[in-house]
A and B are shown apart, each in its own frame.
Chain A
């Protein structure tokens, strides 16, 4: 802009307000319910092995979600969150990235993590907070993270990862900036994707993060999962604007809305978004529309806040839609698919049984990692605690036997 107010000055002599819904935002849809490409749509360039990895990830995550929901009901884990209905949104977007791109997720993105290579045992060890959990048994189930897989550890406070993604991506960009001109001197090799729900997008951190990404040109793909609910609060009690996408325009960010149950649309949009981010250094906003088919978490029952009729209306399964397309491509053998599902279920049960008997972390993990090395006051508290436990070993059976 060439004026101090940084606005477009289209002088008008008509007293007219712009309507709050002036933008008529389209939703990209490529694959139909029968697994065929819509007329007039173009399928993205996706090779067989990527498409199969995408499908296998969704297939695995559906099985994991079903098993762990049941495990919570049996009292074997304290908490779980399924991603039913949103598998394609999360997996296809992760599939469109580079393995070394950073993922900063909210919590319902286990599919992206599995796509990266997080193993079944790693999932289980985290959920059982045993001593092999990368997070050392400190966070509630499903708060995964892995530096090796460039998947930032999940944090419960909603929205906090949004401005962090802006800062992280800025760091990824710095080495590509010419100090003389301030412009990019090469394409950015790795960028950040940031997932969040339409509920979390009401947090101040959302506004701060998107605005700063636009102003400072951070190569972030903001991926809003609009699944219609934030626990029990429906989206129409969350905001009045046209979804989350309309806000992107307000921040001056390139924006697209996609059908989140359509793996090909999500893949195509995210690939394109990545191209924009790596070549211009600028952020992109993707709003994915996919209904949350399951409960928010194991702690709520949706029948208390939405009707069976409504649920029946949105039952379409994103995995099934993509499976039909794969079969039509002759990339998936249906018999093997059925067999694989059976094997996955067995593997999951076996892994669950392995993880639940692995010991909890030793006592020293209570005080490690607060700082790079424990500060003196914490060392004193730790010694005191050790002595106390040694005197009352029966009261602290998890750690008493292993205190050095």
Chain B
């Protein structure tokens, strides 16, 4: 074990992959010698050569088209999109190509070797275009897997699993936590199974569900709630697609209450899918309406970021509303 921040943990997962596969390539804007704008790929070009770790021209659709081709060839394609806000020029390559490669060819071809890494989320004074959480757009696309880690240990294990998984995976990295979140991380290889949520804290009164950077917020809210005598069960969804309905349903069957929280705008956010499914699965066990604490239906703001974000206080208010219903 070593103390690592999330960037070190991600770098370690990439390093293991590059050592494992002689044809694995890391590419994206500024990921080469410089090591990426957040330095997630630091030192990898020196170690594995310019032909395997390289800067691309400034074209997200090109990066993803290239990645699809390289993955279809059979090489692990580790593509970085510099900010999730800039993934949209590549939307067609991801949604119409990566996601449908296997299905449309009857499994003659596939891009299971593809992993897309991209920093997402707010909290860094990034305004409209350095703060978005676009997971819901992709969750509407059969064929993709979507993963979001909450801390360094999770980041390394989930990233390794995403890379080894034989399907295209988008790996959203909570950039606010890149350096802020540190913890003990094994230096050796390990994986955390995709598609499984984790019960982080057990509780009895209300289930709180989030993923990525929002986990910190709901854990904070849970702590404040416990001071007021409310016991929260805190769950990290970890995988958005596929998502672990069973673990959530089991928890809600026990607590009778659910609050889902994400930073993305509330309307059609992934929380909507969870709420619709859980009310169907747990209808007779529900003690109160399921609530969502999310971003407003606005572009991500700058000066009024504090007002916009679903912070711990807003989650706490929802907890009380749910328990007192």
Residue ranges of A at the interface with B (Cβ–Cβ < 8 Å)? 102, 104, 133-136, 138-139, 143, 145-147, 152-153, 155, 157, 160, 162-172, 174-175, 177, 179, 182, 204-205, 207-209, 211-212, 215-216, 368-372, 375-378
Contacts and interface: CB of A to CB of B under 8 A. Distances in A.
Q: Which of A182, A216, A370, A371 has the most CB of B within 10 A?
A: A371
B96 A170 contact: no
18 contacts: A135-B106, A143-B104, A147-B109, A152-B105, A153-B104, A155-B96, A157-B97, A160-B97, A163-B66, A167-B71, A170-B69, A177-B51, A179-B51, A205-B61, A205-B93, A207-B59, A209-B66, A371-B145
Interface string B241-283: 1110110000000000000000000000000000000000000
A102 B73 CA distance: 9
Given A171-B23, A211-B57, A164 B97 contact: yes
Contact of B143 (A133, A155, A370): A370
B70 interface: yes
B92 A174 contact: no
B245 A376 contact: yes
A166 B57 contact: no
Contact of B104 (A138, A162, A212): A138
B102 A370 contact: yes
A180 to B, nearest CB: 8
A182 B105 contact: no
A153 B52 CA distance: 27
B193 to A, nearest CB: 13
A281 B63 CA distance: 19
B322 interface: no
Given A152-B109, A371-B167, A168 B73 contact: yes
A169 B70 CA distance: 8
Given A167-B72, A168-B70, A215-B57, 17 more contacts: A152-B72, A157-B92, A164-B72, A166-B62, A168-B73, A170-B25, A171-B69, A179-B51, A204-B59, A205-B93, A208-B62, A212-B59, A212-B65, A212-B66, A370-B143, A376-B245, A377-B242
A179 B49 contact: yes
Nearest to A135: B106
A370 to B, nearest CB: 5
Q: 3 tightest CB-CB pairs across the interface, nearest first?
A: A163-B65, A167-B69, A208-B62
A372 B110 contact: yes
Contacts of B22: 174-175
A20 B61 CA distance: 27
Nearest to B97: A160
Contacts of A170: 25, 66, 69-70, 73
B164 to A, nearest CB: 12
Nearest to B166: A372
Interface in B69-124: 69-75, 77, 89, 92-93, 96-97, 100, 102-110, 112
Contact of A204 (B66, B69, B89): B89
Given A166-B69, A168-B73, A372 B97 contact: no
Given A172-B73, A212-B56, A371-B167, A163 B105 contact: no
B96 A174 contact: no
B43 interface: no
Interface string B193-223: 0010000000000000000000000000000
A171 B50 contact: no
A376 B143 CA distance: 13
B142 interface: yes
B105 A372 contact: no
B167 A145 contact: no
A209 B245 contact: no
B54 interface: yes
Contact of A162 (B23, B65, B102, B243): B65
Interface in B216-247: 241-243, 245-246
B105 A153 contact: yes
B67 interface: yes
Contacts of B110: 372
B103 A138 contact: yes
Contacts of B104: 135, 138-139, 143, 153, 155
A369 B23 contact: no
Given A160-B93, A164-B69, A208 B109 contact: no
Nearest to A371: B167
Nearest to B114: A167
B113 to A, nearest CB: 10
Contacts of B11: none
B68 interface: yes
Given A208-B61, A375-B195, A376-B245, A369 B106 contact: yes
Nearest to A220: B69
Given A164-B97, A171-B74, A372 B108 contact: no
